[in-house]
């Protein structure tokens, strides 16, 4: 039971990533299982930091589940008008879904 209170190990996270389907459609974050598998050595430090940060919140901050970051991406170099931008969003729910997949 004390293992449930321990932070996730890199091995647990990597095993979960390796068990993800590589060819499914990307989630809201735009990344597939193939991306995480191919780039693991490059992104592992950041992924582990994000997962352990969420773990250390101790069930706080769940108000982020219904929020998202909205970003305007320019369609051209000299973007000035609203129509020159493409809106995109990153729902915070996706981070929690990834965390829960690893936790399970």
Q: What b/e string do you get for 48-75 counting C-beta neighbours within 10 Å, with b at 16 or more? A: beebeebbeeeeeeeeeeeeeeeeeeee
- Regarding pTM above 0.75, the answer is no
pLDDT (tens digit per residue) in 19-67: 888 888 776 667 888 888 999 999 899 888 888 877 776 656 656 656 6
What is the torsional sign of CA 79, 80, 81, 86? positive
């Amino acid at each position: 039971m004390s293992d449930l209170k321990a932070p996730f190990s890199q091995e647990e996270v990597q095993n979960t990533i390796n068990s993800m389907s590589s060819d499914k459609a990307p989630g809201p974050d735009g990344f597939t299982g193939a991306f995480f598998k191919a780039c693991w050595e490059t992104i592992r430090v950041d992924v582990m930091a994000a997962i352990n940060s969420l773990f250390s919140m101790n069930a706080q901050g769940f108000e982020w589940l219904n929020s998202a970051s909205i970003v305007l991406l320019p369609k051209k170099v000299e973007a000035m008008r609203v129509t020159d931008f493409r809106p995109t969003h990153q729902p915070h729910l996706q981070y929690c879904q990834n965390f829960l997949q690893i936790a399970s």
